[in-house]
Structure 1
Amino acid sequence: MRRLRLVTVLALVASCAGTGGKAARAPLTAKDIVQRASPAIVRIEAGIDKIGTGFIVDKTGVVATNLHVVAGESAIKVRMYDGSQYPVMQISGVDPDRDLALLKIQPTKALQTLKLGDSDAVSPGDQIVTIGNPLGLDYTVTSGLISSVRQACPPEDLAAGNCPKEFKVLQISAAISPGSSGGPLFNQFGEVVGVTTRIILIGQNLNFAVPGNYLKPLFRQNAALSPDQFAKATRASERPNQSDDNVRIVRRVPVHEITVFDGCKLEEIADLVRQIGEAIENGAPLYNDGKH
């Protein structure tokens, strides 16, 4: 009997040693993730006709989304899973280069939040789930894989110091559409590892998310911009349409010049990544209407 107990103890020790002393986490099904996360996902309405997605990252009422969803707008509303609505009172964090923003509401009830995972740990082949509001179809669920982890800035430009900062993007196969911008990208454990942000209109399943780790420094920003201050700082300017065989300049864009993929014919992935980098480093939405 003692020998049996000893063998059992040794087996338990060996199993712990094989995982660094930590029990292996069980992956969740897409259905599990949706059921757990949906109450913390919101619909964002900005201005007259902008619709996007966001998610609650702090119980005090901090909502993460893409900057381009709300840029140039002072009237921003957050609609919760239960249908209640809150106006955005402050913009507490902004990263224009990576197209991220933190919005602050004043909730009248307890909020569910989403946990940020480690986006540096994701790799091609990982299963992912997205939830968003594409074309206003609230709480649409899609799933897919991490197709690649790409450096948005071409290596030669990064080495030459021509990029504002190191910036990777997650290429994903999960379908997203205008209105999905700002939504959470989940790993198989239900943690947020990205913010869905862009699509390329040619090809299929060429979609992108900003790594979730880029959100974390924004919590220390304490920008505390009022909606009016934020709108003035990010207001769109009118520019005439310009086009060529590869890119089109949107009519209403944020302060920076932004290129949008619209039927481009690129033969090599290196060229495609270079073009993505040029747009993304300015926080450019890769949609054909420049709104979502």
Structure 2
Amino acid sequence: MKRKRLIITFYAFITLLLCHFDLARPETSIPDLIDKAKPSIIHILTFDSNKKPVGNGTGFYISSDGGILTNYHVVNDSEYIVIKDLSENYLPTLIIDSNEILDIALLSLVLPNGSQVPPLKLSEKKPRVGEKIIVVGHPRGLEYTASDGMVSAIREGLVQFTAPISPGSSGSPVLNMNGEVIGIVALFLKESQNLNFAVSSKVILEKFLVLSSLRDDKFRGKPISNCRLYVTTNPEDAKIRILNIKQVFYQGIKLAAGQYHLEVSAPAYHTHKSWITMEGERHISIDLKPIPGRLYISTDPKDADIEFIGTPNSFQDGMDIDPGRYCLRISADGFQIKKECVEIKPDKGKLLFVILEPFKEPKDYYSTYEDKPTEIKSNGNNEKKIEIIERPSSTGNPDAFKWERKSQQAVNKGDWIEAIRTASVAISLDPGRPAPYINRAWAYINKGYYLKATEDCKVALLIDSSQISAYINLSNAYIGTGDYREALESARRAILLSPNNPLALNNRGLAYEHLGEIDSANNDYKSACEKGLKLACENFKKLVGYAPSEIPKMVENLIAESNLAFNRGAFEETLRLSNEALKWESENVEALTNRAAAYCGLKMLKEALEDCNKAIMLNPDYCLAYNNRGYAYELSEKIREAKLEYEISCELGCDLGCKNYQRLKFQ
């Protein structure tokens, strides 16, 4: 009985001993450990600014919302970074922090809302020499290659190990038998065998991640800080960069908490730089200041007087001047006054050459005389039209020029009787000069003698058919007689000789208005008004109810209303409002893009693509046009084309384009 009791006690001891050793065995086999780690390990592909491949390496998730750890040297020379995961998804990623000395870089993957990735845990313990390890990476592009070895030494923050590695293994996790990361592969010695090194996880936690303003998370599988930055700029196409990180900025960019050096720049504007602190979502608005332009004017004769029209500015050659449109009067004794208008662009020099004509030809009094009637009506005088048969010959009488100049001075003063008298004297002395006929015609028009004016204009054109003022006066005279078809033809001839002449455009507008072609009249009045003719502005306002200067604000309001209509799903209303905006500004990129969105809503995809194409042609950097073109392609079931358009839209800073791109990437 005693012996039996001893045998039972012995077996109980053996059973307890076996149970003890069973509990001490590793929980995971090597194949299971590798299979479990693979979804957390990604292949990093890097590209230059032209999107040409630069290199590749390995990285791994250290947070569930897309934090990635790799080597600094893997991503340092790249402009674009794409990761490929175990499911062969290609996803763009961004650098949010780096340390060149430690050779560590922290990346962030932009994930769809609610999506998560499986992270690896960084070990806080110092590994032991002789401890068994596994390395999983992509050496020479051979994806998910596993090798085993052991820790051979610990050297000042580096873990020396024996598992074989090759180029492309950089950034691979070195795993212990519990599946924890004890280091990240950094370098190997080519001329030696199995002398490989990894940056210790303990060092990464203490000297890198703790400085990234994410100390509370320490990347033990927890989400990184969710700070998003939105920047609106004026001008809207300004380039936005964050100087102390590598990734390309996009609206709503995800950043770690901390300080960032923001730069906003645009051609012809002063660059803005400032440090900002990110602790959560932040919206910033930055208005860039335009760089003044410079104006240089060279005149012949050199001592000509130059003065601004309508502004108090005093002209100085090479002066700094704010961007905008300016008109100047250039004059000199013995020469005709000349008016020149220039467009000054930010940070651009404008060089203007002006040659004044001597008084051998009359100056264009239309360019200096301000008080002209909008429309001239016949006073009912009974005049007989005289047929012009032959071209008058010039006598070359030098006294004729003196009387011609007197007639010009009388025209400028508005003394019509004196203008008729002095011009008639000039014509009697030398009937072969066109200027006195033109001067007398304008005086006749202002006195209401329209038939006499047409007679003088035709004589002037027989002498010199390139006289723009003669055609303009002739169109005025025909308007006075009510012959609007002839007025239209005369104005057209003037515009052929001088396409931007505001008086010719205004007269053609008057003719169109009386002929019932209101849209054509509006266009001509608007063009003439934009070129500085006040009468054209008044004619435009009389016809449509507001001035051309009010059009941009009206178009802006129409676009805003079309946005609201689209947001509530009223696509036909969006289409109507967009069409109304485009009626006034046919090349307005926002209006074209909004109309494209309305067409998409109405399933008019061909029209949508046409509007997007035109918008992109007008402004190749307008990101929303690419997004809408992508949507049109998506509705047409052209998914590849849609992805490309969304990707371009995202790269140009369109948050909606980024969301649509990510949405299609996961389909």
Q: TM-score, normalised by structure 2?
A: 0.28
Matched, 1:88 2:77: no
Partner-residue secondary structure (3-state), 1:73 = coil
Matched, 1:114 2:120: yes
Measure how far apart 1:229 and its partner are. Answer: 4.8
Return the structure number with greater strand share.
1
Partner-residue secondary structure (3-state), 2:39 = helix
4+ residue segments displaced more than 6 Å: 223-228
Q: Do the aligned partners of 1:88 and 1:227 also contact (CA within 8 Å) in 2?
A: no
Q: Deviations over 1:177-208 (max 9, x none)?
A: 11000010000111110101111011211111
Q: Distance between the aligned counterparts of 1:86 and 1:219, measured in 2?
A: 24
Measure how far apart 1:24 and its partner are. Answer: 5.0
Q: Between Structure 1 and Structure 2, how many residues are aligned?
A: 202
Residue identity in the other structure for 2:209: F
Query: 2:195 maps to which residue?
Result: 206
Q: Distance between the aligned counterparts of 1:230 and 1:73, measured in 2?
A: 12
Residue identity in the other structure for 1:82: S
Residue 230 of structure 1: which of 245, 251, 255 is its match?
245
Q: Distance between the aligned counterparts of 1:73 and 1:185, measured in 2?
A: 25
Q: Deviations over 1:25-75 (max 9, x none)?
A: 725322111111100100001122310000000011100001110013220
Matched, 1:103 2:107: yes
Q: Distance between the aligned counterparts of 1:214 and 1:31, measured in 2?
A: 28
Query: 2:209 maps to which residue?
Result: 219
**Mapping for residues 63-82 of structure 1, pairs under 5 Å:** 63-82=68-87
Partner-residue secondary structure (3-state), 1:214 = helix
Inter-CA distance 96–24: structure 2 relative to 1 (3 Å threshold):
farther
Inter-CA distance 150–89: structure 2 relative to 1 (3 Å threshold):
closer
**Mapping for residues 36-185 of structure 1, pairs under 5 Å:** 36-47=36-47, 48-91=53-96, 93-108=97-112, 109-120=115-126, 122-151=127-156, 168-185=157-174
Partner-residue secondary structure (3-state), 1:111 = coil
Q: Do the aligned partners of 1:56 and 1:112 also contact (CA within 8 Å) in 2?
A: yes
Q: Do the aligned partners of 1:119 and 1:194 also contact (CA within 8 Å) in 2?
A: no
Partner-residue secondary structure (3-state), 2:36 = helix
Partner-residue secondary structure (3-state), 1:58 = coil
Partner-residue secondary structure (3-state), 1:81 = coil
Residue identity in the other structure for 2:86: Y
Partner-residue secondary structure (3-state), 2:62 = strand
Compare relative contact order (CA 8 Å, sep 6+) and give the higher one, 1 or 2.
1
Q: TM-score, normalised by structure 1?
A: 0.62
Q: Do the aligned partners of 2:95 and 2:246 also contact (CA within 8 Å) in 1?
A: no
Partner-residue secondary structure (3-state), 1:89 = strand
Residue identity in the other structure for 1:98: L
Q: Distance between the aligned counterparts of 1:90 and 1:199, measured in 2?
A: 24
Inter-CA distance 89–227: structure 2 relative to 1 (3 Å threshold):
farther
Q: Do the aligned partners of 1:59 and 1:110 also contact (CA within 8 Å) in 2?
A: yes
Q: Distance between the aligned counterparts of 1:90 and 1:208, measured in 2?
A: 23
Inter-CA distance 57–64: structure 2 relative to 1 (3 Å threshold):
same
Inter-CA distance 228–39: structure 2 relative to 1 (3 Å threshold):
farther
Q: Distance between the aligned counterparts of 1:28 and 1:104, measured in 2?
A: 30
Measure how far apart 1:141 and its partner are. Answer: 0.3
Q: Distance between the aligned counterparts of 2:86 and 2:57, measured in 1?
A: 14
Q: Do the aligned partners of 1:198 and 1:209 also contact (CA within 8 Å) in 2?
A: yes
- CA RMSD of the aligned region, Å? 3.0
Q: Do the aligned partners of 1:65 and 1:183 also contact (CA within 8 Å) in 2?
A: yes
Identity, in percent, stands at 31
Gapped runs of 5+ residues in structure 1? Answer: 17-22, 152-167, 233-292
Q: Do the aligned partners of 2:162 and 2:195 also contact (CA within 8 Å) in 1?
A: yes
Inter-CA distance 25–150: structure 2 relative to 1 (3 Å threshold):
same
Q: Distance between the aligned counterparts of 1:25 and 1:89, measured in 2?
A: 41
Q: Distance between the aligned counterparts of 2:25 and 2:67, measured in 1?
A: 28
Inter-CA distance 115–182: structure 2 relative to 1 (3 Å threshold):
same
Q: Do the aligned partners of 1:69 and 1:181 also contact (CA within 8 Å) in 2?
A: yes
Q: Do the aligned partners of 2:54 and 2:78 also contact (CA within 8 Å) in 1?
A: no
Q: Distance between the aligned counterparts of 1:213 and 1:41, measured in 2?
A: 20
Q: Do the aligned partners of 2:61 and 2:68 also contact (CA within 8 Å) in 1?
A: yes
Residue identity in the other structure for 2:152: S
Q: Distance between the aligned counterparts of 1:209 and 1:114, measured in 2?
A: 16
Residue identity in the other structure for 1:230: I
Q: Distance between the aligned counterparts of 1:227 and 1:138, measured in 2?
A: 33
